[in-house]
Structure 1
Amino acid sequence: MSEEETTRLFRIRRTVMQMLKDRGYLVGDFEINMTKAQFIDKFGESVKREDLVINKAKRNETSDQIYIFFPEEQKVGVKTLKTYTNRMKSENVFRAILVVQQNLTPFAKTCVSEVAAKFHLEIFQVLTNEEKKTLLERYTLKETQLPRIQITDPIARYYGLKRGQVVKIIRPSETAGRYVTYRYVV
């Protein structure tokens, strides 16, 4: 694993910890303020994504828990989702966030919809430079033609986005089931 990827995972984990704290989960300041050196001490030079799994309980309701999964594979499939939901079911945890590297497989997306009544799964993905390039080529766009999000926007600040990055947003939709849009950070 490259140092760049280690740095990226370090930053993602720190952002996730801050988000969990903001949502009312029990997160210690030491977990948010962990330095990159401490991160490497804990997880090693070449971080395994599955070692980053986080399980937190709500501050005032310890039975209300959440899992954060960092799937290892590029495109998450049904098998991985089933593994996660089985683990969640056995521990009575009904919320999870998946920090994915690429989009889910079509079957996995269907699976997320099917388990939505029981499990609340959120999918987070910030596009890599390569994915951004592919997106722009597919639609023959310049990045400036994408809808924008200000770097000062609370959500952009929350996720630690940088100018020039493109974020993929997936929202529930009454008519289409789900609505996908992209925002260019300015």
Structure 2
Amino acid sequence: MSAGLVTDEVTMGRLYRIRRTVMQMLRDRGYLVVEHELATTRRDFLRKFGESFHREDLLINKYKKNDPSDQVSLSSAQFSTRSCPNTPPPPGQLHPLLPAALDRIRQAVLVLQQNLTPFAKSFLIELEPKIHLEVFQEAELLINIKEHVLVPEHQVLTNEEKKTLLERYTLKETQLPRIQITDPIARYYGLRRGQVVKIIRPSETAGRYVTYRYVV
């Protein structure tokens, strides 16, 4: 059986759930995900990809809603069986973990079965000036953490909204409560250091309770 080939029903069902979470995550980050992609059933998934397929066939490319002409905002999700080899690719060849359209992509999400090797981690760090890469394990995306009953609503502020907030309360961004960039919900939204997220919780007295967190 070739590497990455999926034929058993359990794995197919697992990849269907992961792909659904990825679609929801990209939508919540502001990417253009159409309704039928979010409503795809397991049967639709198998009909599209067949009874057997390669993880590498599950590539997703999306543009931001507010600027479809800006390719810098393109996000790609690649499902791979490889944790990354311990040697660099031959000269002139892309690393096997990366999307083929690296020259057109500035942001990518890699969904892997295994942990990255030390070499792979250092390789991705070296690429950071060219492309922002996020790495998720498949197990992290089997369910959408945003839909958990204990997770409040999160809204990522734009730079202008952040500026307005700080001016309104005469604050420096570092005076805000913090959220770690490694926090699961921060990773879900793809937050970057320096961003501010608005958190809305239900309140029995006021209807809702709003706080803000600064990403560190």
TM-score (norm 2): 0.56
Correspondence for 1:110 among 122, 132, 139: 122
What amino acid maps onto 2:65 in structure 1? Answer: R
Equivalent of 1:76 in 67, 79, 84: 84
The CA distance in 2 between the partners of 1:48 and 1:107, in whole Å, is 25
In structure 1, runs of 5+ residues without a counterpart are 129-150, 156-169, 173-186
Q: Cα RMSD (Å) of the superposition?
A: 2.7
- Native 8 Å contact 1:76 1:100 kept in 2: no
Report the Cα offset of residue 126 of structure 1. Answer: 4.5
Number of residues paired by the alignment? Answer: 135
Unaligned runs of 5+ in 2: 1-6, 141-147, 153-180, 184-216
1:70 partner amino acid: F
* Cα shift readout 1:153-178 (whole Å, capped 9, x = no counterpart): 439xxxxxxxxxxxxxx949xxxxxx
CA displacement at 1:89 relative to structure 2: 3.3
Give the drift of 1:66.
0.8
Could you tell me whether the CA contact under 8 Å between 1:24 and 1:58 is conserved in 2? yes
| Deviation string, structure 1 residues 12-52 (Cα, Å, up to 9, x no partner) | 00100011011111101100110101100001112310110
Change in CA separation of 1:83 and 1:76 when aligned onto 2, cut-off 3 Å: closer
1:97 to 98, 101, 109: 109
TM-score (norm 1): 0.64
CA contact (8 A) 1:81 1:108 kept: no
Going from structure 1 to structure 2, the CA distance change for 1:7 and 1:116 (only over 3 Å counts) comes to same
Equivalent AA in structure 1 for residue 107 of structure 2: R
> Are the structure 2 counterparts of residues 107 and 85 from structure 1 closer, same or farther at C-alpha, using a change threshold of 3 Å?
same
Mapping 1:9-88, distance limit 5 Å: 9-62=15-68, 63=70, 64-73=73-82, 75-77=83-85, 78-79=88-89, 82-83=95-96, 85=98, 87-88=100-101
**Alpha carbons 1:88, 1:94 under 8 Å: kept:** no
Listed one character per residue, the Cα deviations across residues 67-109 of structure 1 (whole Å, up to 9, x for unaligned) are 1111133x2235497245573432x211000000001121111
Q: Which has the higher helix share?
A: 1
Pick which of 78-87 and 52-61 moved more: 78-87
